[in-house]
A and B are shown apart, each in its own frame.
Chain A
Amino acid sequence: EAGVVQSPRYKIIEKKQPVAFWCNPISGHNTLYWYLQNLGQGPELLIRYENEEAVDDSQLPKDRFSAERLKGVDSTLKIQPAELGDSAVYLCASSSGLPNTEAFFGQGTRLTVV
């Protein structure tokens, strides 16, 4: 069974440029998360989807970040314009439904803004 797939694995962009990350969750998983992880820190939630509905986006900086999950399957996270401080690893995870099942993570996209 395929796990959570993210692309690209690495991205280097100049500040003020736009960037997009893509995530394909495990088949059948209704819950999809986007997390941001800085070096030496734990993952921090950006947004959580239940099917196509964003049910928790309170930590998403909406002035520059946007996300969508059309048809409740794969998802895209966008940053426009990117800032130096956005350099981090962006992790996507999916779950069949908590609280008693685990969340599976993709390998992440490592973003460097220069």
Chain B
Amino acid sequence: EVQLVESGGGLVQPGASLKLSCVASGFTFSDYWMSWVRQTPGKTMEWIGDIKYDGSYTNYAPSLKNRFTISRDNAKSTLYLQMSNVRSEDTATYYCTRNTMRGVMDAWGQGASVTVSS
């Protein structure tokens, strides 16, 4: 069974950094592109970016590119999202997803909740 389990969320102060992790199981992690998507409390969905199966290439939403970094460790079957200089508008649930063909996200984690507040 395909499983994606996010962790690392919580309450963080504006301007701080936070790193989310997503541990994958039930499939060969190194065969798949992976993405991060977030959903605001108002339910707006936003694609953050994705990373190639070998970690050699990434795409980002331009609005987040300067503050968010996606990486992966295939030996640990783990996807990461490094968030820096967080703002209140980064408050959201963050999902990691497995991608099949271009942008088709066929498996989602349960989400990690991030709240940015002082």
Are A and B physically bound partners?
no
